[in-house]
Structure 1
Amino acid sequence: MDFSIFNRKSVQNVYTIAFYNLENLFDTTVDQNTLDLDFTPNGSRKWTTRRYNRKLEKLAATIPKIGFDATGKPPVLVGVAEIEKGSVIQALLETEPLKEHHYDYVHYKSPDDRGMDTALIYHRDHFKVIQSAPIPLIIPAKGDKEATRDILYIHGILNGEMVHVFVNHWPSRRTGNHETDYKRIAAAKTIISYMEFIEEEFKDPNYIVMGDFNDGPGSDSIQTLVNIGKLYNPMESLRSPSRGSVSYRRSWNLFDQILISHNFFNYKEGTHSFSSADIFDKSFLMESKGRYKGKPFRTYVGEKYNGGYSDHFPVYVQLELN
């Protein structure tokens, strides 16, 4: 008997959901409302149209490959971080080979001073947006409250099943890990509060919580999310000192993660069930030599142009449609 028929059917029913920090995807023009002068032709990064287009081409060639080995098709959802504005996502989607796919996006301008926004890229053949909103993340601080990147919320239909998606880029560790823990815990609690709001209207909703959390799976902030008993973190099993999504202070970290609700483990017809999770760390996304060999092939190292893709690897989960 030819079992390849069954294998092909299984592949057709598996869909990839990804997250990718794009490392400062800025256009080259000055935005009066954003501190973006560094990313202009005359700025410190010498960010030219040629460099911008080169980055778009690299990212557009990468995104369709995420999870492709297992599914034979590009991702249905891709959360992204570190984009300056919606027009750069539009430019990305109009770049080959992404242009060949039926992608659209959801984006809102956030209050981040540097223009670091998030967005959700979605495949129109598989996902329909019902509603979306930016969730303000207000951080308690000494004196005035600190406003940072919003959390992007999307309520939609994935292959006929209703899902609630949160795309995150939580406050960084720039001023220290322990000194900034409370900011990321505040972000986790913001999501939990919004979930409670969702559950007033929807019974047993499906959640997908993705992002660059600037914290690993074992951190207090991520555990705050997991400990509510509604979310499973498949990235927990990927933790390793020799592998991660980002190299931070010369150590591997898994700051980029995708959490899903426990109801993705049912096998009822018409629903999705969890299949696998991984880091998309293919060799073409890595530095090939030198002191950073094996680390993400970055666009910049400090202010030095490096010509790579991003300082993060994408991560992804795969769901099977029953």
Structure 2
Amino acid sequence: MEFRRLGGSGLKVPVLSFGAGTFGGRGPLFSGWGNTQVAQARELINIAVDAGAIMIDTADVYSDGASEEIVGAAIRGRRDQVLLSTKAGLPTGSGPADAGTSRSRLIGAVEAALRRLGTDHLDLFQVHGFDAATPVEEVLSTLQQLVQQGKLRYIGASNFAGWQLMKSLHASDDHGWPRYVGHQVYYSLVGRDYEAELMPLGLDQQVGALVWSPLAWGRLTGRIRRDHPIPPGSRLHTTAEFGPPVDDALLYAVVDVLLDIAEQTGRTVPQIALNWLIGRPTVASVIIGARDADQLRQNLGAVGWSLDPEHVRRLDEISYRVPPYPHFPYHRQEGFARLAPPLFPAVSSGAVQHRS
């Protein structure tokens, strides 16, 4: 397993991390993801850790805290062998104090996560979403306090817009507080919005990407393709409305290429989609989940090899979409591109015939 520094920090994380969103099975969303309990969770985590995927990612909203509880029970005896990553900030109840990242809520959320996970510190704590009602100075000074107390080692953000992340980084720099070193984001072959603004920001500010839903909510498994309906048992039947939207024409075009590359290489469609992500700028770790051991072992097979440049080019081209304003001039017009050359010039130059 390859390890990479998370952003500009000294924390080294595996390029594949294990996501525990399928643990617990509580609520309309997470019951559709999975219902993994302690015994199976321990088996899956042992497989992941033994393969080098030692960072375990969870959140307080995953199955109403049950995911954190199950992770804590599953790593008992192996705490010093793993990196624990969790998140807080999204609503966990209907009360006014049950959402956001105010000082009181952050302190309470961290204390609760430590109890559920059975540990005295978190290796990475991420603010799960930007709280527009709380000043960034309050959020970051609270995280500074928790870092000084030894309860948090590193901090990160999740699902922030570019201006929200930059405002937070500026406040940290201005006051000498810890910076967000990671940004947990959605990014996949059929969801490349991350590249327009957040990726250049990550490069400039040394913020590493931790990728969630790298297989686009289960769409990039190879089972969904042209003239093939969503198969029975797929979580998309019950959870699609919660996840990132994907245009069917784009999905089918990308899967066509993935299937062809899979036939040429002997790799699986998920392995190819994951390997493509691992090679992208700023990506520090790709978070994989699994309902069973076979699925996990298959996903872990995405490392230890690299796609051929021609395969990368084909995937880049078929998945590329012109970004929205104000980003598209820098991708499509020579004058703008001279000011800020695009990260993927061969794709974004306009020479590629894009499918609608």
Give the shorter-chain TM-score range. Answer: 0.3 to 0.5
Higher relative contact order (CA 8 A, sep 6+): 1
Q: TM-score, with normalisation over the residues of structure 2?
A: 0.38
TM-score (norm 1): 0.41
The structure richer in helix per residue is 2
Larger Rg, first or second structure (1 or 2): 2
Name the structure with the higher strand share.
1
